[in-house]
Chain A
């Protein structure tokens, strides 16, 4: 087939599944799926997420030029599917996870090691056809590196700092890292299994806790997916308040990240300063919306807390101080050569790799991939707001800091616009049940694109859910970023990525 066929043209040969919103879902048989995988070698369609069901595999794709998005499903009653990971490296870990959870075998995938399943659940394929497993935990065969004077450093799962658990295996020559391999899955909680069969409101509480730092983004993605599935419009004021909360979440995370990265370069004053700013922001959240991290404030149908006039004023005052403090801290960063010396040229990720993996957020934008879900596919109210998406090309720790700085500034401006234009009215629409449906939504979290896909039953229960964290496409790049750097720079690189463990492992 020709290389210039668009995604939707290609899929028009498949069967469109009715009731899937807002983007279509197509089913492909084995031949169609294989043709799709082959087509992917010549097309620039991006994999946004891939997940399973007991006898079906789904992939969410985006056509790069047209921006068209579609879910492609492939029923595989014989429990096997032609692996997409053969042509898209970003799908490799996703397909290893699909095998662990649903028992579907990705055929032709070179790496057949389990990923989330460590052999400790007492069951295999818990979401597919569960089989009891009483054996020993699996031993994991790490990739090797051979040569004179190489040594290994195992780190984790329990780390030295207050961070999430995961295992890193370094192969080093002296101080230089020759290979880093990650092993994740330690905080797998089985969220997809937990939400199945629950009423939408209960499921919302769990989805809000996929990754605590992105709770607004996950709640928003879930709410938008459910609203799409049920055909509900949230009231305008709720839409704007959601954006307000999302931007507060972005600023609070970025601000603290910037401080923490500098702290890993032994410049603790930045952490102290940024920590104090973050505290102001969280207190603002608590005061105005009743939760420091804004958990459970965005719900299907709207938002659970309205902003009072007094709250709006208080936010304005608070932001004035936070902005000033933020600019002072950035000036300090900019004028400290010893700190810049650590961050510049460290942990470089090339643009080609970032594009191949479709990595988003500051990791993508620091290496010339400017994708932002608020722009494409876009969602309200961002179509009525004016904002910049900063992009840099250097791809080092410094660039990841500066992209965050620019994003914080952009978010401040967004908040100004939101506070000035906030419409009046109710903030919650009732969840009317109009029959079963499927919905999907993409939302830009501070870390990148969060995706939630959901199938809701006629009774308003979640039948199946998949939540995709942007970290899936960023973790593998961290392995590349540290290549050739010294071990001592790993915390710096790692923090500059700040990938989520909980969001990835779920």
Chain B
């Protein structure tokens, strides 16, 4: 009889890991946008690590689902030194989703103020750019930049995990360059 452990090892050797190999290239548009946004500002030396605080400022929750996906074992964002934190006080980056609703505008502002400098803001999803399909409502202030300054946009509705990764890697490259 084949011992169970041998079967187990064989299965895992043949199947390979869950995690996708390699990393997507940093988003080229993102690099350009960042170069512009950060050109004048001090760059932090973060030693290739980023702590992110996610803020849903009015999203439909679709963007959150894909943020969960970049944390799953297939994309495993943490292997690049990027991880999500529970408090803005521990964060370098605010990842903001959704059109900003008026009911969330103050909470977003306060979260931004609670984040220590140097800090960066990534607006994720088409809503976060300019309000997307919710623009023009009495309840919506607009995109993220209507309330706080934005350094990088990640396009899509919702952006697929690869694009989120590529965007965040572009940010990581830029802010950790000397």
Q: Is the CB of A122 within 8 A of B102?
A: yes
Q: Is the CB of B87 within 8 A of A500?
A: no
Residue of B59, B72, B86 near A276 (CB, 8 A) is B72
Residue of B62, B69, B88, B101 near A188 (CB, 8 A) is B101
Q: Is the CB of A188 within 8 A of B84?
A: no
Q: Which residues of B (136-165) have their CB < 8 Å from a CB of A?
A: 136-140, 157-158, 160
Q: Cα distance A154–B65 when bound, in Å?
A: 26
**Which residues of A lie under 8 Å from residue B69 when comparing CB positions?**
275, 278-279, 282
Q: Is A150 an interface residue (CB 8 A)?
A: no
Q: Is B54 an interface residue (CB 8 A)?
A: yes
Residue of A158, A213, A276 near B61 (CB, 8 A) is A213
Q: Is B111 an interface residue (CB 8 A)?
A: yes
Q: Which residues of A (104-148) have their CB < 8 Å from a CB of B?
A: 118, 120-123, 126, 130, 137
Q: Is the CB of A189 within 8 A of B86?
A: no
**Which residues of A lie under 8 Å from residue B33 when comparing CB positions?**
none
Residue of A163, A189, A286 near B64 (CB, 8 A) is A163
**Which residues of A lie under 8 Å from residue B106 when comparing CB positions?**
120, 137
Interface string of A226-270 (1 = CB under 8 A from B): 000000000000000000000000000000100000000000000
Q: Is the CB of B137 within 8 A of A501?
A: no
Tell me whether A275 and B73 are in contact in the complex, defined as CB-CB below 8 angstroms, given that A187-B58, A295-B157 are known contacts: yes
Q: Is the CB of B137 within 8 A of A189?
A: yes
Main secondary structure of the interface of A (DSSP, over half): loop
Q: Is A190 an interface residue (CB 8 A)?
A: yes
Q: Is the CB of B105 within 8 A of A120?
A: yes
Shortest A211–chain B CB gap in Å is 6
Residue of A120, A137, A162, A190 near B137 (CB, 8 A) is A190
Nearest chain A residue, comparing its CB with the CB of B132: A209
Q: Cα distance A188–B102 when bound, in Å?
A: 8
**Which residues of B lie under 8 Å from residue A187 when comparing CB positions?**
56, 58-59, 98, 101, 103-104
**Which residues of A lie under 8 Å from residue B74 when comparing CB positions?**
275-276, 279
Most chain B CB within a 10 A radius of its CB, from A160, A189, A205, A211: A189
Most chain A CB within a 10 A radius of its CB, from B61, B67, B107, B138: B61
Q: Cα distance A212–B71 when bound, in Å?
A: 18
Shortest A248–chain B CB gap in Å is 14
Q: Is A206 an interface residue (CB 8 A)?
A: yes
Place the interface of chain A in its size category.
35 or more
Interface string of B41-72 (1 = CB under 8 A from A): 00000000000001111111111111111011
Q: Is the CB of A158 within 8 A of B65?
A: no
Residue of A122, A190, A212 near B60 (CB, 8 A) is A212
Q: Is A377 an interface residue (CB 8 A)?
A: no
Q: Cα distance A190–B137 when bound, in Å?
A: 6
Q: Is A293 an interface residue (CB 8 A)?
A: yes
**Which residues of A lie under 8 Å from residue B68 when comparing CB positions?**
162, 256, 275
Q: Is the CB of B139 within 8 A of A212?
A: no
Q: Is A388 an interface residue (CB 8 A)?
A: no
Q: Is A165 an interface residue (CB 8 A)?
A: yes
Nearest chain A residue, comparing its CB with the CB of B137: A190
Shortest A194–chain B CB gap in Å is 5
Q: Is the CB of A165 within 8 A of B138?
A: no
Q: Which residues of A (24-71) have their CB < 8 Å from a CB of B?
A: none
Tell me whether A162 and B73 are in contact in the complex, defined as CB-CB below 8 angstroms, given that A126-B138, A190-B137, A213-B61 are known contacts: no
**Which residues of B lie under 8 Å from residue A210 when comparing CB positions?**
60
Shortest B36–chain A CB gap in Å is 28
Tell me whether A189 and B71 are in contact in the complex, defined as CB-CB below 8 angstroms, given that A162-B54, A211-B61, A212-B63 are known contacts: no
Q: Is the CB of B140 within 8 A of A190?
A: yes
**Which residues of A lie under 8 Å from residue B55 when comparing CB positions?**
158, 165
Q: Cα distance A282–B84 when bound, in Å?
A: 23
Q: Is the CB of A165 within 8 A of B139?
A: no
Nearest chain A residue, comparing its CB with the CB of B72: A275
Q: Is B99 an interface residue (CB 8 A)?
A: yes
**Which residues of A lie under 8 Å from residue B59 when comparing CB positions?**
164, 187, 212, 502
Q: Is A272 an interface residue (CB 8 A)?
A: yes
Q: Is B8 an interface residue (CB 8 A)?
A: no
**Which residues of A lie under 8 Å from residue B18 when comparing CB positions?**
276
Shortest A368–chain B CB gap in Å is 29
Q: Is the CB of B72 within 8 A of A120?
A: no
Q: Is the CB of A120 within 8 A of B102?
A: yes
Nearest chain B residue, comparing its CB with the CB of A503: B61
Q: Is the CB of B107 within 8 A of A206?
A: no
**Which residues of B lie under 8 Å from residue A121 when comparing CB positions?**
102-103, 138-139
Q: Is B134 an interface residue (CB 8 A)?
A: yes
**Which residues of B lie under 8 Å from residue A276 when comparing CB positions?**
18, 72-74
Q: Is B133 an interface residue (CB 8 A)?
A: yes
Q: Is the CB of A160 within 8 A of B86?
A: yes
Q: Is the CB of A211 within 8 A of B60?
A: yes
Q: Cα distance A164–B101 when bound, in Å?
A: 13
Q: Is the CB of A209 within 8 A of B103?
A: no
Q: Is the CB of A295 within 8 A of B56?
A: no
Q: Which residues of B (74-103) have their CB < 8 Å from a CB of A?
A: 74, 84, 86-88, 98-99, 101-103
Nearest chain A residue, comparing its CB with the CB of B86: A160
Q: Cα distance A91–B86 when bound, in Å?
A: 35
**Which residues of B lie under 8 Å from residue A430 when comparing CB positions?**
none
Q: Is A347 an interface residue (CB 8 A)?
A: no
Interface string of A199-211 (1 = CB under 8 A from B): 0000001100111
Task: Give 14 A-B contacts (CB < 8 Å), ordered by A residue.
Answer: A121-B138, A137-B106, A158-B88, A158-B107, A165-B56, A188-B103, A189-B99, A193-B139, A194-B134, A209-B60, A212-B61, A212-B62, A275-B68, A501-B61
Shortest beta-carbon contacts, A-B, top 7:
A212-B62, A275-B72, A190-B139, A190-B137, A160-B86, A212-B60, A209-B60
